[in-house]
Amino acid sequence: MKRLFSLLFLVFLLNSGNAQTIIKMVVHEEPKACQRMMPMTCLQVQKDGSKEWELFYDKIYGFEYEAGYRYEITVTQTERPEPVPADLSKYIYRLDQVISKKAMLVSNETANWKIVSLNGKAIDDEKAFIGFDAEFKHLSGRAACNLFNGEVKFNKRKTKLTTGVFAATKMACDGPTMALEDEILKALSNCKIKTKMVGEKWVWSVKGKSILEFIPQAIADKKEETRVEMVKEKTPWDYFNNKTMKVIQVNGETLKDSNAKLIFDKQANRFSGSNGCNQINGTFSAEGNTIEFTGIVSTKMMCTDENIQKTERAIMENLRKSGLTVDFAEQVINIYDASGALVLMLAVSDEK
């Protein structure tokens, strides 16, 4: 769909005959509320070397903006064909190139910062974070257990920070959590701190030693989502998924020289294969130890061998049964009917 839109957009530009201009922009890390015909949110930009931030009311096609980052980009500016509707600008903007993307200090109206290191030691407490008000005069957050807040003072470039004493709630947590909280509040309180960005990490130090390090909460959330996905509990279907499973037994009878096989695609909940004579496919759902086959379709080739016909009928009848259950051995899937009888046995095969 995106490709189709891009092609249509290009055709529009080629047919419009209107002049194009490349503009260099710096995009601020925090958007601002603005209003054209109605309230909206605007990017703040500096155009072509300007040092003044201005509100940018238009969409930049192809630009995926994330608050908390300062961008250097180039955009293509193209005049709209006349007449231009009253609620639109004179120009259409499309991303040309992202030159740089740098994580920046932002207020907690836009983003929080997760604490990832304390006094040189990595910590992994999902509740420990800080954030600032829009003027960067007030710091608040959670120190592992309790919420805290207090006034702070930055220099103009936000490379130096002076803190005082923070007020905190009084909720009691377990011993290790309270010990971590005490250490965080001690590191934060009554300090003259130097700050700098190192990649996406914000480092606070006192007398040359790192006391706290942070990453944007949005990045921490993405890392957590990835971690959860990686440690997601594996099931036997993860092993048998997309493997060729040869049907080696039907209704208790072992098959010899049969071409019957099934391949399961658990992500799509579909299966395909052969019943020994015809190609088959359909959908299946597996939950716990239950399995159900639906939407089964088959080719209509006639096989003259009676044993092959018998196997075909038995496989199709069993796949269409309700109340099927399944269990797994090292290389085998066993399928049982509602009475508990083993009706299909499938084994991993090197065949394709």
**Pairing assessment for the beta strands 201-206 and 192-198 based on DSSP bridges:** antiparallel
Same domain, 157 and 208: yes
What is the tens place of the pLDDT at every residue in 163-175? 999 999 999 889 9
Q: Does one domain contain both 45 and 80?
A: yes
User: Are 225 and 117 found together in one domain?
Assistant: yes
What average pLDDT does range 38-66 have in this prediction?
A: 92
Rounded average pLDDT over 305-324: 94
- The count of structural domains within the chain is 3
Averaged pLDDT, 278-304:
93
Pair (99, 161) in one structural domain = no
Q: What is the pLDDT of residues 8-49, one digit of tens each?
A: 444 444 444 457 899 999 999 889 888 877 788 999 999 999
CATH code for position 153: 2.40.128.270
Domain that holds residue 297: 236-348
Distance from C-alpha of 214 to C-alpha of 216, rounded to nearest angstrom: 7
- Can you give the pLDDT at residue 121? 93
Q: Which of 50, 85, 103 is the last residue of a domain?
A: 103
Nearest CA-CA partner of 313 in 330, 335, 298, 334: 298
In this structure, the answer to whether residues 256 and 198 fall within a common structural domain is: no
Q: What is the pLDDT of residues 268-277, one digit of tens each?
A: 999 999 999 9
DSSP-derived 3-state class of residue 70: strand
Considering the domain architecture, whether residues 279 and 333 belong to the same structural domain is answered as: yes
- % of residues, the chain, pLDDT over 70: 88
Residue 108 included in any domain? no
Of 229, 248, 278, at which residue does a domain stop? Answer: 229
> Do 200 and 268 reside in the same domain of the chain?
no
pTM for the model stands at 0.47
Tell which of 229, 262, 279 closes a domain: 229
210 with 280, same domain: the answer is no
Classify residue 165: in a domain, yes or no.
yes
Residue 13 confidence (pLDDT): 46
pLDDT, tens digit (0-9, with 9 covering 90-100), for 224-243: 666 555 556 678 888 899 99
d(CA 19, CA 178): 64
Determine the 3-state secondary structure of 204 from DSSP.
strand
- Both 242 and 316 in a single domain? yes
What is the reported pLDDT for 215? 87
265 within domain boundaries: yes
pLDDT at 97 over 80: yes
Domain shared by 219 and 117, yes or no: yes
